[in-house]
Amino acid sequence: MLFDFPLPLAPEIARNVEAALAEDIGAGDLTAQLVPADRLGRASVLSRETGVLCGTAWFERCFVSLDPACRITWHCSEGQRIVAGQTLCDIKGDARALLSGERSALNFLQLLSAIASKARVYADAIAGTGAQVVDTRKTLPGLRLAQKYAVRVGGGGNHRLALWDAILIKENHILAAGSIPAAMQAARSIAASAGGRCRFIQIEVENLEELDTALAAGAEMILLDNFSLEMMRSAVTNNAGRAILEASGNVTLEGIRAIAETGVDRISVGALTKDVKAMDLSMRFAD
C-alpha cells in the first residue's frame, strides 16, 4: 500500500522500474538462460538490520513486469519497522524472472528503506517539539519522487518537489529583483500566472533585519539560512506566528533537537536523501 503523496505514484513507479530493468537486462539476461525456461522459483527477502520498510511497490513491479503470474507474500507492511533477521516477503514465480529482477528489485527496496529509516530517526529526534523535518532537492537524478515518497513513509515531510511546483526566493533572486519587497511582489505575480501549480512562495533570509523586511512584505514562509540558535529564538519571537519558519543549513542529527526547541516550524535536511547508505537486505532462493 502506497502512502499519501502529492502526485500519483503509479506512473512514476512504472517509469523507474522500466528504466532500471532496461539498464540491467538490456537485450536479455544471458546468465539466467542457464536455468530451464519452465522452472518455477521460490525466494525470500531477509533484513540484516533494523529500519523502516519502504519501496514495496517498486519491488513488486520489477518482478511482475517480468512475470505477470509472480506472487509476492509480504510478512510486514510499507512503513513498518523491521529488525535484523526478519523475513520480509516470500516470492514465487518463473525462476528466470526472479533471477533477472532480483538486483533491480533489491536496489529499490534497499535505497528507499534506507531513506525511510533515516527520516524516521530524524523525526523521532524532534518528536514532541512541534517541528517537522523536511527534505530538499538533493536527490538522485531520476529518482526524486521515489526518494521524497520514502521520506514521507519515514515520518518526514517534503519541501518543494521541484522547480515547477513552488517558488523559493534566494539571495541571487533578491539581488536581481532589487529588494526583498520587489522579489516578493514579482513572485506573487508569477505564482498567479502559473495556473495553480505554485504551492507556496518562500523567501530565504540571512539575518534578523532581512527577516523583519520579509515579514513586512507579507511573506508567509521564510527560510532561516544558517541562523545560530540564538538568532532562531529571536526570529521566532519577532515572527510571532505570522509566517512558517524553516531552519536550514548544517543540520546534524546531534543538533536537530536544539534547533526544533527554538520554536521553528520546519527543519530542512539534505542528508535525508543525499547521504544514504543502502539498507542491508538479501534475497535467498529456495533449493
Q: Is beta strand 221-225 parallel, antiparallel or unpaired with respect to 201-205?
A: parallel
Q: Which residues of 126-147 are buried (b: 16+ CB within 10 A; e: fewer)?
A: beebebbbbbbeebeeebbbbb
Distance CA 87, CA 114 (A): 17
Residue 265: helix, strand or coil by DSSP? coil
* pLDDT at position 250: 87
Catalytic residue among 42, 137, 138, 199: 138
Q: Cell triple for residue 71?
A: 506472487
Q: 138 an active-site residue?
A: yes
Cell of 18: 522500466
pTM of this prediction? 0.95
Residue 59: other Cβ atoms inside 10 A = 31
Block residue for cell numbers 507474500: 73
Q: Is the dihedral of CA 220, 156, 133, 16 positive or negative?
A: negative
What is the pLDDT tens value at each position of the chain, 287 positions in all? 788 999 999 999 999 999 999 999 999 999 999 999 989 999 999 999 999 999 999 999 999 999 999 999 999 999 999 999 999 999 999 999 999 999 999 999 999 999 999 999 999 999 999 999 999 999 999 999 999 999 999 999 999 999 999 999 999 999 999 999 999 999 999 999 999 999 999 999 999 999 999 999 999 999 999 999 999 999 999 999 999 999 999 899 999 999 999 999 999 999 999 989 999 999 999 96
* pLDDT per position as a tens digit, 177-205: 999 999 999 999 999 999 999 999 999 99
Residue 66 burial by Cβ neighbours in a 10 Å radius (0-12, 13-18, 19+)? buried
Strand-pairing partners, residue 72, are 91
Q: Which residue matches cell numbers 522452472?
A: 39
Helix residue ranges per DSSP H, 40-143: 56-66, 95-125
Distance CA 279, CA 52 (A): 9
User: Would you call 152 a catalytic residue per the annotation?
Assistant: no
Within a 13 Å sphere around the CA of 8, how many CA atoms are in the beta-carbon half? 4
- Measured in residues, the chain has a length of 287
Nearest to 104, CA basis, from 53, 143, 155: 143
Q: Taking CA 37 as the corner, what is the angle to CA 33 and CA 39, rounded to the nearest 5 degrees?
A: 115
Indicate which residue of 60, 67, 102, 204 is catalytic.
Answer: 204
d(CA 45, CA 48): 10
What cell does 259 get?
534547533
Write out pLDDT tens, residues 198-233: 999 999 999 999 999 999 999 999 999 999 999 999
* Catalytic-labelled residue, pool 92, 137, 170, 188: 170
Residue 280 known to be catalytic: no
What is the rounded CA–CA span in Å between residue 232 and residue 263? 8
pLDDT in tens, 141-154: 999 999 999 999 99
Distance CA 258, CA 123 (A): 13
Mean pLDDT of the chain: 97
CA dist., res. 252 & res. 122, Å (int)? 9
Please say if 170 is a catalytic residue: yes
Q: Which residues contact 25 (CB under 8 A, 6 or more apart)?
A: 100
Find where cell 523491521 sits.
Answer: 82
103 noted as active-site residue? yes
Q: Which of 103, 144, 188, 199 is catalytic?
A: 103
Catalytic residue among 225, 233, 274, 280, which? 225
